[in-house]
Each structure stands twice: as C-alpha cells, then as structure tokens.
Structure 1
Amino acid sequence: MRSKINILGCVLFLICSTIYGQIDRYEYKRELKDITDSWHRIMLPDELFKNVSSDLSDIRIYGITKENDTVEAPYILKKNREKISSKQVDFEIINRATTKGGTFITFKIPLDQAINQIKLFFKEDNFDRLINLEGSQNLKEWYSIVDSYRILSIKNELTAYTFTSLKLPDSKYQYYRLFIKGTNAPELKNAQITLREATEGIYKIHPIKSIRTEEKKQNRTTVIDIDLQTAVPVSYIKIEDDNDFDYYRSARIEYLRDSIQTEKGWRYNYQNLSSGILNSIEGNEFKCNSTITNKLRVIINNQDNEPLTIGAIKVKGYTHELITRFTTPATYFLVYGNTRTGKPSYDLQYMSNIVPEKLKTIQLGTEQGIEKKGEKVVAPLFENKIWLWAVMGIIIALLGGFTLMMMKKK
C-alpha cells in the first residue's frame, strides 16, 4: 500500500512540475494587454521573428491565474497571403485569316462569360511579335481591348524563355479577335482562356540595411548581397533596372539559412529561395514561400553579355497574425524561443468557421527574457577543512579503540 502511495505522489509531482515548468522551457515572453473579449487578433511584430523557430512552431500563449495555475490558450496562425482561383472558359476558333499586315484569329466563347487572360501556345520557337486584341458581340462592331502587346519566345542551348500570356481587363464579349502583326506569324497551336480571380495579400515592406553588388568575371555572374534590418518572413522580391536595352538573364535568389564561425571567420550557408528570368518585358517580381531570413543573395547569369545596371530592390513579406480564444481569466503571455518543441495541435484549427468576423487587435508588451529556475546547489556539510580533519581524526580514534577492545577480548 505504501509503495502505491509513493508512486502516486511521484506522478502528481511530475504533472505539477510539467505544468509550472511550461513557460520556463521558452526563452522570451511578451505580455498580452487589454484582453476584453473571448476572441482577439494578435499581429506578430518584425522584432519577434529573429527569436522564433523557422516554422513558427514554438509559439505558445500561456496564462497565469490568480491561483497561480498555468493555462494555455489555443490559436490559429494566419499568413495573409493572396488567394488565387482560375476558371477555364470553353471556346472555339471560328476564323483564321492572313493579310499583308499580319494574321487574324477569332475566338467564340459562351454568352455572359467574363475573361481576363488568354494564354497562347505556338508551334514555333524564337519569335518576337506585337499583338492586338478586340472584342465584339455581333462580329460587326469591334472594340479595342489591348493594343501592341508584346509576346516573345527564346529557346537555345543557353536560354528557354516564353512570354505568351495575354493579360487584359475583365471583359465580357462573345467574340475576341486576335491580330498578330507582321508576315510569317508563328502558327497558333492552342490557347487557354481563363477568368483569374485574385484576392490581394497583405504585405509589409521590409527595410533594407545595405546592398552590395559584385561582378564575378570568372563566373560571368553578378552577385547582389542584401542585408535586412532584422530577420523577417520574406515572400516577395522585386528587382528594378536602369537599362535601355532588351535583356533576358537567368537568375536565382538564395537566403541565409545558417552560419558557422570557423578559425578563418564566419562561413555562411545559403539555400535556394526562388529562380526565374530577369527580363525587360515583365516586372521582375519573384514570389516564394514565406521564409524567415535577414540576408538575401541574388545571382544573375550574364553569360557573354555586359552586366545589368540594377536599380531599386524591394523586399516584402506577408503579415502574420494569431486568432486566439480566451476562456479562463488570467494574465496571458505570448512565449517563444524553443527549438526543441513541436507544433501545437488545437481543435480550433479545424473549426475556423466559428471565428467571429470582427476581431479586436490586442497589443503586445515589450520582449522580456524568461528567467530559468536554477538548480539547487547543496552546500558541503563542512566548508572549513579544519573541521573535516577533526572529524576524520575522531573517526580514526574510535576505529582504533574498537580494534584494541576486540584484541583484548581475544
């Protein structure tokens, strides 16, 4: 019976130690202020990201009640990225005609169907053409939609680049007439007509601390190192140029994943973030999965061309927020900074439909380090060596006395 009581006591002790030690497992905390409702929104500040794990799995919301109990509030992590949907529209090509000025192609689509993108597929490669697009409801009256829109295809042993997606304002006609300017126009193989709907994401522009550009003549590349003010989630990079000529250069963007200090200095480990073609036609926007970093590197492959003159560089990231539910009155803290913990599992993530539409945003306090409970140090029984030698002398004398008494009895 006594052993069972001891086991039960040990279990209760471990449970209590786990509950009260939850906050101590993290490095930082911020107090949540002005909690007035059951549901609230918490916007994560830029200064927080340098101290959280890369996947944000170590974020927790703990509360301390008046009885000094620890409670945990569930949350939904929301990244305010854009939402894109694309609906393909049925069509048929009802007319093809060629004149001295160029080639006409007419598409017919169902009535009352809006479109905003036409992607063209050609049999040939390597062309550079201008196209016009018109719309009509009766094949008699035509209205201009897009004029002198440039399409391009380059394919060789070094480059494979195609830009043949015609983006237009939302339009609702039954007939669309495409005009490819110039003789010997590339032959249209197929097309894809869609209605693309996008909800813009909520971005935050990240300040850039410094930009360094270096021309690597041996590798025929341009390397641009971008240092941000702090580690932040990056999901968008735009590279502007100051060139007055056409260009098409393959490029990749890397981010600093980690660094190691060696005898020769710091060694930086970069990893691919995005890649594409820098060109003079499109906006040179690179989008990627949200990644926390404070250093970016752009590598441009110039081949045998002269280096580009790079203009402004813009770095942005989605805003991150927590949708939180409070059920127990307490003083709550947002805690983070534990690379050994896993992602939490809350019922709330499967019930997002119950979240109210209007949420009050609560403020976060300043970041504070969490004090750790130090291990208890047991002081020695005798700190003075004189006492230690005295006790040892007494023990030796007693042992000697007992030995003499035993010898006399024998």
Structure 2
Amino acid sequence: MVRTLSFIIIIFLTQQLHSDSTDNKTIGYQLKNIEKGWNRLELDDELLMGMSSINTFIKVKLVNKSKDTLEIPYVIESSKQLDSTIRIPVEIVNKTIKDGKKYYTLIADSTQIISNLEFSFSSRNSLGKASLEGSNNQKEWFMISDSLLLGERQNSHQKISSKTIYDLQTLYLFYRLSLEDTKSKLESVFYEKTFSANPKYKKLNVNQLKYRTDKDKKRTIYRFSLNGRLPIHYLMLDIQNKFDYNRTVNLFGLVDSTKTRKGTKHNYKLIETFQLNSMDSTNYVFSFPEHYEHYKIVILNGNDPPLKIGRLTAYRHEYILKARFDDEGDAFIKIRNSGSFPYYDIDKFKSRIPTDMNEMKLGDKLELEISKAEIEPLITNKLWLWLVMMLAVIVIGYFSLKMLNEEKKK
C-alpha cells in the first residue's frame, strides 16, 4: 500500500516538475513585406492547424536595428466580425448667435442610433467649450453633454485636437451644438453608420465521409476529417431522403485517443446540437473557437428510418491579424498549441483602426524557444509545489508508522 501510494505521488510530482521544462518549443514564421504603420496578415490553414483554438498563444515580435526584441500588439478579426462603415453627412439647418455663444441646429437620421459625431471647423487654431443637445421636435431639448471641448489648437510646444464626440448612443432627429468660440465656423458634421456584411468563408477539404447506423440506439453516425485541426463555422448537408423529417443532430470533435486492452478509445467532445428539418435550410452556422481534425455527426433517428447524407461541405471564417509597427526591423510571428491569449489596449479601440493597410506575407518557417514567462505548467506556484511535497511526505510517513505499529502488535 505504501509503495503503491508513494509511486503514484512520485509520478504526479515528476509530471508537474517536468512541465516546467518541456513543451518550450513553438512554431514561428518570418513576416515579409512589412511597412512602418498598420499591416494585416490573413491566417491561413497552416497557421491555424498549429493552434488548438483561435484564442490560444500567438505573439508578434520585431527585432529592430538596435537588436532589441519588441512585442507588437495586435488584434485578430474574423470575417464574421467584419462590418462595412460609411461616413454620413449631417445637415446644418440653422445658425444663430446668442449671449456670446454660437448655436448650430443639425438634422440627422432619426432611425439610426448615432454613436459618434465628427465636426470640422474653418479655423485650425480655435479650441473652446461646447455643449450638445438633442430633440425630436425642436421645442423640447435634452442635454447630452455640457462639458465638451471642441476644436484644434497648435503652438510650438504641442498640438491639441478634439473634433469627434464618441460613445453618444443617441437617437434624435435634431441636434443643437453651442460653441463659446464665436470666431470659429462649423463647416461640416459627419457620423458613421455600420452595415453588417455577409461573412466570408474559406472552404475546407473534407476527407472521406463514412457512416454506420446503430439500430440498437436508433441513431446514424457520420465521421469525417479535415487536413488538420481547423474550426468549422458553416456546414452544408445534402440530405438525399425525399420524405419529411425532423431530427436532433449532435456535432462532436475528437479531443484525443487512448489505447486500451480492448482497442483504441476515442474521446469526443460535444460541440453543437441542432435540428435537421425538411422544411428548413440544411445549412448551419457555428461559432465554436476550438480546432479539431476529426469530427463526428450523430443523427438521432428515433423510430423513423435513417437519414442519408449524400454530401457534406464545410467552411471556416477568414481570420485577419492587424498590427501596427512603429519601428523597422525583422519581424516574425510565433504560435503555440496551448498557452494564454495575450490582450492589448488596442483591442478596445478597434473602431479606430484604419481599413486600408499594407498586406504582410508569411516567410520561412522557424523553430523558436519560448521564454519561461510564456510557459504555463500546471503548477506554477513554487510554494504550492512544496506544500504538495510536504503533504506527500506526511502521508507516506503516516502509513509507514501505521504498518510498523501493526508489525509490533503481531
């Protein structure tokens, strides 16, 4: 008993200690065609296959001319998130001066929630206090903000520019802007309107579709695989049966396989549950982030005849990585199967990222070392590791003393 327990504890601790020093290899690629400023990179299948999820470890690095290695903040956008944004002009319908202030009445689309207003002034060296009100009838006005600072001022030491009001989230037909600077003239006003665009998909290579019907459990099981670990975001099923049907379907992804005495056991994870209905479209949209190579579709037949899938077509979203390089040098991207996904401030300002930018290219494949700070063993706290070791010693000691006492009694 003591030997068995000791052996289990030693194996457990060895695995945790070993996790501190292993799995420190990562796949890297050189980044080519980089320009100073904003750059974008489409994540292809080869890159995605190296990750267990789109939310896994990715780092972009730049080695500048001083041989310093800089971490480059980035964001990843999928084609599902890509929307079209246009600037719509706001009409200036009236202008008055009263009590030393200049008032402008603006008319906007009352059916569109306005999140920001961008103002353009005639003078480039005027900065003053302003307030903004909203109304739907020009009789009753509601204060939106009375502590605005609008305009632009520049001298030999600094430049101050404040021409856009963000995070309004208002729905009015009329707006009234008041300016304390009566010398500056308001020339134009715009707001942005976002249109949701149909997502772009990349077709995946689906390998041989195999199936079998389990009559005892009244279900049909289809298995198929991709060229590597990739997500599925859009699935088209060609059902060949001509009769009406309504079936519950479960989509699984293969996590791993273990060898047993009875053979290989496949461990699947349930990803999605959906309905197959003859009255509806057999095209299905998914949003799970995990990547799998082998998939399984289980159709619950009940007492009805099995359904026959003649053809299965799978797609994934396009993923675009956007990064800004403020320095010149040699850049590379590195990915890892597991690890924490880094978050940067840039993620909170996606709306300010320009749409037009340089297109980066993947270069040669690299083998890179990950720093200790990027390695995440199961037990990262050394104090916790020592506590586990002390507990193991106490448990082993307790059972050893217990066995000695039993031997003495005999």
TM-score normalised by L of structure 1:
0.54
Instruction: For residue 367 of structure 1, report the CA deviation from its aligned partner.
Output: 2.8
Aligned partner of 2:76 in structure 1 is 77
Distance 1:266 1:37, change over 3 A: farther
Alignment of 1:216-235 (within 5 A): 216-235=214-233
Instruction: For residue 332 of structure 1, report the CA deviation from its aligned partner.
Output: 0.4
Partners in 2 of 1:349 and 1:312 — Cα distance?
Answer: 39
Aligned partner of 1:302 in structure 2 is 301
Aligned partner of 1:345 in structure 2 is 343
Instruction: For residue 61 of structure 1, report the CA deviation from its aligned partner.
Output: 0.4
Percent identity among equivalent residues? 25
Q: Alignment partner for residue 356 of structure 1, among 349, 354, 357?
A: 354
Distance 1:43 1:26, change over 3 A: farther
Task: Name the SS for the 2:316 alignment partner.
Answer: strand
Alignment of 1:9-408 (within 5 A): 25-81=24-80, 199-262=197-260, 264-290=262-288, 291-337=290-336, 339=338, 341-370=339-368
Unaligned runs of 5+ in 2: 1-22, 84-110, 112-194, 372-410
Q: How many residues align?
A: 239
Give the conservation status (yes or no) of the 8 Å contact 1:79–1:318.
yes
Aligned partner of 2:357: which letter? L
Partners in 2 of 1:67 and 1:37 — Cα distance?
Answer: 16
Distance 1:64 1:256, change over 3 A: same
Task: Name the SS for the 1:208 alignment partner.
Answer: coil
Unaligned runs of 5+ in 1: 1-23, 85-112, 114-196, 374-410
Aligned partner of 1:295: which letter? H
Partners in 2 of 1:239 and 1:83 — Cα distance?
Answer: 26
Give the conservation status (yes or no) of the 8 Å contact 2:79–2:200.
yes
Instruction: For residue 317 of structure 1, report the CA deviation from its aligned partner.
Output: 1.0
Task: Name the SS for the 2:286 alignment partner.
Answer: strand
Give the conservation status (yes or no) of the 8 Å contact 2:33–2:359.
no
Task: Name the SS for the 2:231 alignment partner.
Answer: strand
Give the conservation status (yes or no) of the 8 Å contact 1:82–1:200.
no
Instruction: For residue 46 of structure 1, report the CA deviation from its aligned partner.
Output: 0.5
Partners in 2 of 1:44 and 1:83 — Cα distance?
Answer: 15
Distance 1:357 1:82, change over 3 A: closer
Partners in 1 of 2:228 and 2:336 — Cα distance?
Answer: 16
Distance 1:371 1:346, change over 3 A: closer
Aligned partner of 1:93 in structure 2 is none
Distance 1:351 1:38, change over 3 A: same
Aligned partner of 1:11 in structure 2 is none
Task: Name the SS for the 2:207 alignment partner.
Answer: strand
Give the conservation status (yes or no) of the 8 Å contact 1:274–1:287.
no
Aligned partner of 1:183 in structure 2 is none
Instruction: For residue 370 of structure 1, report the CA deviation from its aligned partner.
Output: 2.3
Distance 1:310 1:199, change over 3 A: same
Query: C-alpha deviations, 1:54-101, integer Å up to 9, x for none?
Result: 2433100011223322111110111111689xxxxxxxxxxxxxxxxx
Partners in 1 of 2:260 and 2:72 — Cα distance?
Answer: 42
Task: Name the SS for the 2:210 alignment partner.
Answer: strand
Instruction: For residue 198 of structure 1, report the CA deviation from its aligned partner.
Output: 5.0
Give the conservation status (yes or no) of the 8 Å contact 2:58–2:335.
yes
Distance 1:55 1:262, change over 3 A: farther
Partners in 1 of 2:43 and 2:261 — Cα distance?
Answer: 37
Aligned partner of 1:216: which letter? D
Aligned partner of 1:401 in structure 2 is none
Query: C-alpha deviations, 1:172-202, integer Å up to 9, x for none?
Result: xxxxxxxxxxxxxxxxxxxxxxxxx852111
Task: Name the SS for the 2:332 alignment partner.
Answer: strand
Query: C-alpha deviations, 1:265-301, integer Å up to 9, x for none?
Result: 4432211222122121111222222331111111111
Higher alpha-carbon Rg = 1
Aligned partner of 1:13 in structure 2 is none
Task: Name the SS for the 1:368 alignment partner.
Answer: strand
Give the conservation status (yes or no) of the 8 Å contact 1:33–1:364.
yes
Partners in 1 of 2:40 and 2:82 — Cα distance?
Answer: 20
